[in-house]
Chains A and B, each alone.
Chain A
Amino acid sequence: MRGFLYLTWVEMLLFLREWQAVFFSFVFLPMLLFLFGAIFRTHPGVELGGFQQGDLLLPIPLAIGIASNAIYTLSGPLAVYRERGILRRFQATPLRPYAVLLAQGVVVYAMTMLAALLLIGIAKFSFGLSAAVNPWAMWGAFTLGSTALLSLGFLLGSLFPTARVTYAVNSTLFFGMIFLSGTAIPWELLPPFMKGVAQFVPLTYVLDLLKHAWLGQGIWPLSQDLAVLSGITVGGTALAAALFRWD
């Protein structure tokens, strides 16, 4: 536990010193919000069901932020650490695999949370927000979505010996997910076959949960989303800790 806390502290410092991850979370994601805002521009007077444009846009960059941080920002550094022998050095200490994984997970979760708050602020200011959000439901949706994708990140960060292989696999997974889940392309526009494929993409459930939570519809009725994401979280994390390779 001590080791986990110290490692988390160091990983937090390292995250803030690496400009790429900071840039992505705090500059690129807001840019995505504006981009989607421009693509799905609504004309004044169009009936949005009592919501404002920001309410409909916000879940998209949130889901992309959760996915990209969990997939890239988490697994990439682990692969680099492994390649450079840093993990091997940790292997000779009392640190256990799950402590190494969770320290990364906590940092990525906290940074994604900050980025999400920033996105909410920008969406309110630029596009208007009027949904009656239950903050606890929203936090729950964000957290469960994050843990599910982080557990996939744990797996990606545990399995591969080199950074090159890791980046090849996580890029495939990331782009596959955002295009096949109804995130980059709205769910409503997907043909029936692609909707079927989307059932197998974890990000689909994350986006669904985020949308419902944000639009104030509650998350408890979404028992399928909750079950799938909980299952991925537990299964992925356990598998990653078991298969974790130090070198």
Chain B
Amino acid sequence: MPKARPLGDNPPRHGGVSGMAAISVKDLTKSYGGVRAVDGICFEVRPGEIFGLLGPNGAGKTTTIECLEGLRVPDGGAIRVLGRDPRRDRYELHERIGVQLQATALHDRIRVGEALRLFAGLYRRRGPWGRRWAQLLEPLGLADKLRQYYHSLSGGQKQRLHIALALVHGPELVFLDELTTGLDPQARRAVWAFLEEIRDRGTTIFLTTHYMEEAERLCDRVAVMDRGRILALGSPAELIARLGGESRIVFRLLPTSPADTDAGRLDAKPKAPPAGLEGMPHVRRVRLEEKDGRIVIYSTKSSATLAALIREAEARGWDLRDLHVQRATLEDVFLALTGRELRE
């Protein structure tokens, strides 16, 4: 096994780690027809953590996860999953991992209970729920669906069934590709809580997502991926702290005189944030959100910045609208790293 490079700077969240990574990826590349979908990425996943690959659609997340699962052949690089080569040792590895694919289906006329029995029967190992499917389905909100045909389930129910099928045999490591796409917020939170419980029992979870909130709330560590590369890696708190501004002060500025805007219309959006904001105390960056004309100030000490902003507004006669303070998020991290928003 190649000596893995240390990538994060935090000690493992769960103690008793033997030093062997659950997953280690070195210089992984994969191209499709000349386009580099994955462009030389390196990372390690520690046993017992929830590791998230966060990025927009087309960032290379699915290609990466499918290389790890042994479903795709990488062009280059070294991958170890549970100490094994995902291609060479794939049958052995598939016994030990659980997989939820992004685009998949089951037979229309298979019942939920039959699907669980089938998938449980494909593995030698047994999950902690054995054959008591209700224990697996309850947290996913599917307990009353055991006799229903697959084709009669809603999109969200199918999605949750695929999560259940990934967990049915109690795998050591679970791969979840866009796990909560198509779920309503309530179901999404229930799935997160369930996965945390699975993680606390010792299962390692590797997931991809383009939901900033999912990465932030669920993941112990996150790799931010864009255009085939990993731009940053760390716990959500670390990544946000690395921005240098821990909170964002958001407001809209109404023009006070027609001269402030080109056309003189009061609903016109400003072209740039007013000068002088950068110079206020504890301000790291100032940005104008083009979509809705909101001005965002990233500040390391929001109370002091806020006080200064209000004094400035008083002095210059600004009308601050919708003024509020938010915690910076991974969305801001992505924006700072790529100059683009996560959700296009």
Contacts and interface: CB of A to CB of B under 8 A. Distances in A.
Interface of A: 2-3, 5-7, 9-10, 13-14, 17-18, 81, 84-86, 88-96, 246
Contacts of A3: 121-123
A10 B114 contact: yes
B114 A88 contact: no
Contacts, number: 68
A108 to B, nearest CB: 16
B179 to A, nearest CB: 15
A87 to B, nearest CB: 10
A90 B70 CA distance: 12
21 contacts: A3-B122, A3-B123, A6-B122, A7-B122, A10-B107, A10-B110, A13-B114, A14-B109, A18-B109, A86-B104, A86-B105, A89-B105, A92-B69, A92-B71, A92-B94, A92-B97, A93-B99, A93-B122, A93-B123, A94-B122, A246-B71
Contacts of B91: 94, 96
Contacts of B110: 10, 13-14
Contacts of A2: 121-122, 124
Nearest to A247: B71
Interface residues of B, number: 25
A7 B118 contact: yes
Contacts of A84: 105
B129 interface: no
A6 B124 CA distance: 12
Interface string B83-121: 000000001001101010101111101100010011101
Interface of A is mostly: helix
A75 B99 CA distance: 26
A7 B94 CA distance: 17
A88 B104 CA distance: 7
Contacts of A9: 118
Nearest to B109: A17
Nearest to B114: A10
Contacts of B114: 10, 13
A5 B121 contact: yes
Nearest to A96: B91
Nearest to B69: A92
Nearest to B121: A6
Given A7-B118, A95-B122, 19 more contacts: A2-B124, A5-B121, A6-B117, A6-B122, A10-B114, A14-B110, A17-B109, A85-B104, A86-B107, A88-B104, A89-B104, A89-B106, A91-B71, A92-B69, A92-B71, A94-B94, A94-B95, A94-B122, A96-B91
A117 B123 CA distance: 36
A55 to B, nearest CB: 39
Given A14-B107, A14-B110, A94 B123 contact: yes
Interface centre among B95, B109, B117 (most CB of A within 10 A): B109
Nearest to A17: B109
Nearest to A11: B107
Given A10-B110, A10-B114, A14-B110, A92 B122 contact: no
Contacts of A91: 71
Contacts of A18: 109
